[in-house]
Amino acid sequence: MALSDPEGILASPLAIIERSGDSADVEAITGIIHQHQVGRVIVGLPRSMDGSIGRQAEKVKSFTQELRNRSPAPVEFRDERLTTVSARRLMREAAAGKSRRRVRDDAVAAALILQGYLDEIHE
């Protein structure tokens, strides 16, 4: 997961939610939404490279519908193709720069997805 600053300019990695089942995962996410007063939720949709919706994207869509039903904030999709690759590259570059902070690929990828959304809405 990632959050933006209050002005919606900069995204930062927040946390990793370890999967424990859709209902528990939705509860954890809605807890974070309430705690941080989130105004909008952006969900990465893992499309295939040709843009089609595959098996994993269908699972994400199903989970997101449950989240939409319980979230106080609107929920939107954003194409997440190549964000994990970009996240790994950024983390390698940070490690080469002797960065002591370690963040898992998923949290960095979430920040990249959110940052792409923020950049789009501020164009």
Query: pTM (2 decimals)?
Result: 0.75
d(CA 85, CA 99): 19
- Domain boundaries defined on the chain: 2-121
Please state which architecture CATH assigns to domain 2-121. 2-Layer Sandwich (3.30)
The DSSP letter of residue 8 is S
Local confidence band at 85 (pLDDT 50, 70, 90 cut-offs): low
Is residue 9 scored above 90 in pLDDT? yes
The DSSP letter of residue 107 is H
d(CA 121, CA 123): 6
- Tens digit of pLDDT for each residue in 86-95? 556 666 666 6
